[in-house]
Amino acid sequence: MDNFCGYLTKDKEIDETNIKNMYIALNPTFNDSNIFKRSNFTVAGDILTLEYDNYTYTIAFNGELYNKDEIIIKTSEVKSPLNVTSDAEAVLACYLTYADDCVDYLDGAYSFVIYDSRTNNVFMARDRLGLKPLYYTNTGNSFCFASKIKALLKHSDIAAIIGKDELCEIFGLGPAHTPGKTYFKNIYEIKPGHYGVLDNNELILVKYWDLETNKNTDSIEQAINKIKEIVSASLKTQLPTDTKVCSMLSGGLDSSVLTMLANKEIPKLNTYSINFENNDKDFSANSYQPTKDSDYVQIMLENLEVNHTNITFNNKDLFDTLKASMIARDMPGMADIDSSMLVFCDKIAKNDEVICISGECSDEIFGGYPWYYKEDLINSASFPWSRSFDTRCNILNNKLVSSDELKKYIKKAYDDTISNVVFNSLDAKENLFRATCYLTTKWFMNTLIERTDRMSSLCNLTVRVPFANYKLFEYVYNLPYKYKLGLVNGNNIPIEKYLLRKAFEDELPNSIVYRKKSPFPKTYDPVYLELVENEIKRIINSSTEPILEIINVKYLYELLETKGDSLKENWFGQLMTYPQTLAYLIQINMWLKEYDIDIEL
């Protein structure tokens, strides 16, 4: 299920019919032919309704469980009136068995909402790492929830509005956003690892999971073996036996590990890589992107028996897809980093692929980013991937939000996140690494997760991310930072993702194992840069484009004149340089127009 939504209205009693009708109102695919009986369930689209012990339970579920069989066993051992065959049924059985504690037993990528007529409450939850979305708002008359913001905006009482805080999110933190917030005023998200109980139209939020500081005394050899075990088990758990599976292969360590493991289970596995027109000619190595993927993909293909497809992107298509990728996210995103993922997923899905394995979410826990070891970044006392404060401040119209206001907003977002980290070490570097890991997981990784989920969902492709395994995160989070950076056995030069490299060094080519981290590829073709520059020029030379109200046009002219040379820092780490900064502004303008957003300050 890619979308669910519902209205809970104050002037009506919340009952099973009410919540189902609310769902149907926003689900255009619903019709009577969708309804059929199975056991004691009525299945209406993606809503399941159970009549049990004189009470009604209704669930709207989005995502997939990885431990459905385990849930079936656990619930049948206690009590369960259900003949479980689907993930949604398993979640409902777990709720009936353990009530609010059901979330402690679930493993997967999911969000769900359950109406319970016994308590007349609504229970809603999101998975630990936030792999699936869940949004909500309260209009004053209705409490509304949905898995997509665009569904909420169909409600006649919900307006698309941005205020000062939202401008701070977009220009101060974007394309990331504060956990729990969106770029729309009064529209919020259930945070990862949280559940909510709607009681008498009041939403009570509870954090049921977080990265916690615990003592770990494993040796580095034990840690390496444990990591190999968890990663291998996570991959196997996410490989269905009855559905076609493929893999994204970039030639980097993460995708190579998972592709190698998947290929053991699936002979002649279908694999896919991406490239951009003229990148072989225009690629320019730098400290963030030192090598081309294509060379390392070829090395992997020489060591695996897979069916490989290389997908080359047309840069005009990449530009033309900026709007579609923004709409998929419902907010401005990572510009062509989003649109390239959308095109990639679309091409894969058109090959009749159903489930695709991705190597994302490894860098966050294993220390794969420069800010884990570069002194100026790890000591920045702010978001290390977003040090472009001067640029962000200069682009935003300071008459709307002053530099001081923007700086205070960013600092509060940072401080609020760090306040959740528990430090139990006397080693300052250990504490700093832990804080950086927590910060990166909650912010940077969430931005990447949103990109992958929203782009793939639009293409009806399920992308599974085995590294986004909460048990792996719990374990590695509490290992010494020296293990993670390979500062052992007399070595004093940091090695990114040392533990993961060591865990699989005997199963992969040495050049793959010790390839320097290279981020998601982007285009270097001057054709693409010309397209975004021309569109920005068109926008700022217009008198009607909505973004003109909130940006400093004079500064943007200066940026164009220097061809980005005046940028002191990238907009968003290694992923968004000058072309992506312009494309992000283009997406903001598209968003303001497409969603007819009012600016209220």
pLDDT recorded at residue 8: 58
Which residue, among 86, 75, 18, has the nearest Cα to 48 in the 3D structure? Answer: 86
Closest alpha carbon to 185 in 597, 543, 522, 594: 597
Closest CA to 122 of 20, 3, 2: 20
Nearest Cα to Cα of residue 157 among 173, 172, 143: 143
Cis preceding linkage at 175, omega within 30: yes
Of 251, 106, 338, 294, nearest in space to 114 by CA: 106
CA nearest to 375, candidates 440, 442, 428, 443: 428
Distance CA 508, CA 506 (A): 6
Handedness of CA 501, 453, 593, 533 (dihedral sign): positive
Average pLDDT, rounded, for the chain: 89
Q: What's the count of helices (H) and strands (E) in the chain, helices before strands?
A: 25, 19
Which amino acid is present at 335?
Answer: A
What distance in Å separates the CA atoms of residue 487 and residue 373, rounded to the nearest whole number? 11
Rounded distance between C-alpha atoms, residue 366 and residue 494, angstroms: 12
How many Cα atoms sit within 13 Å of 323 on the Cβ side? 10
The answer to whether 566 and 559 have CB atoms below 8 angstroms apart is yes
What residues contact residue 161 under an 8 Å CB cut-off, 6+ apart? 184, 185, 186, 597, 598, 599, 600
- Give the integer Cα–Cα distance in Å for 11 and 141: 7
Phi, psi of 212 (to 5 degrees): -115, 150
Predicted pLDDT of residue 575: 83
Half-sphere exposure of 571 (CA within 13 A, CB side): 27
Alpha-carbon Rg for the chain, nearest whole angstrom, is 24
Residue type, 524: Y
Q: Contact, 87 vs 61, CB < 8 A?
A: yes
Q: Tell me how far apart the terminal alpha carbons of the chain are, to the nearest angstrom.
A: 37
Which pLDDT value is given to residue 272? 97
SS3 117: coil
From residue 195, alpha-carbon distances to 95, 100, 180, 211, 474 in Å are 12, 8, 12, 16, 19
Give 37's strand partners.
42
With CA atoms as reference, report the closest residue to 494 among 400, 421, 401, 429. Answer: 429
What are the C-alpha distances in Å from 559 to residues 218, 554, 564, 582?
51, 9, 6, 9
Whole-angstrom Cα distance, residue 83 to residue 38? 9
* Side-chain half-sphere CA neighbours of 184 within 13 A: 24
Q: Can you list the residues of the chain whose pLDDT is less than 70? A: 1-46, 78-82, 279-291, 518-524
Check: CB of residue 440 under 8 Å from CB of residue 352.
no
Under DSSP, is residue 18 helix (H, G, I), strand (E, B) or coil? helix
What 3-state DSSP class applies to 476?
helix
Q: Report the C-alpha gap between 375 and 292 in whole angstroms.
A: 26
pTM of this prediction? Answer: 0.93
Closest CA to 465 of 296, 247, 227: 247
Domains belonging to the chain, first-starting first, are: 5-207 (3.60.20.10), 220-513 (3.40.50.620), 529-599 (no CATH)
Residue 458: helix, strand or coil by DSSP? helix
Strand 161-162 to 598-599 pairing:
parallel
User: For residue 54, what are its two tokens?
Assistant: 């004189």
Which residue type occupies 110? Answer: Y
β-pairing, 307-313 vs 270-276, is parallel
Cα–Cα distances in Å, from 358 out to 464, 480, 590? Answer: 6, 27, 29
Take residue 304 and report the two structure tokens written for it: 């695996």
| CA pair distance 190, 538, nearest whole angstrom | 38
570-587 pLDDT, tens digit per residue, is 899 888 999 999 999 999
pLDDT at 26: 45
H or E element at residue 260: helix 253-265
How many angstroms from the chain centroid is the CA of residue 452?
6
**Exposed/middle/buried for 433, CB within 10 Å: 0-12, 13-18, 19+?**
buried
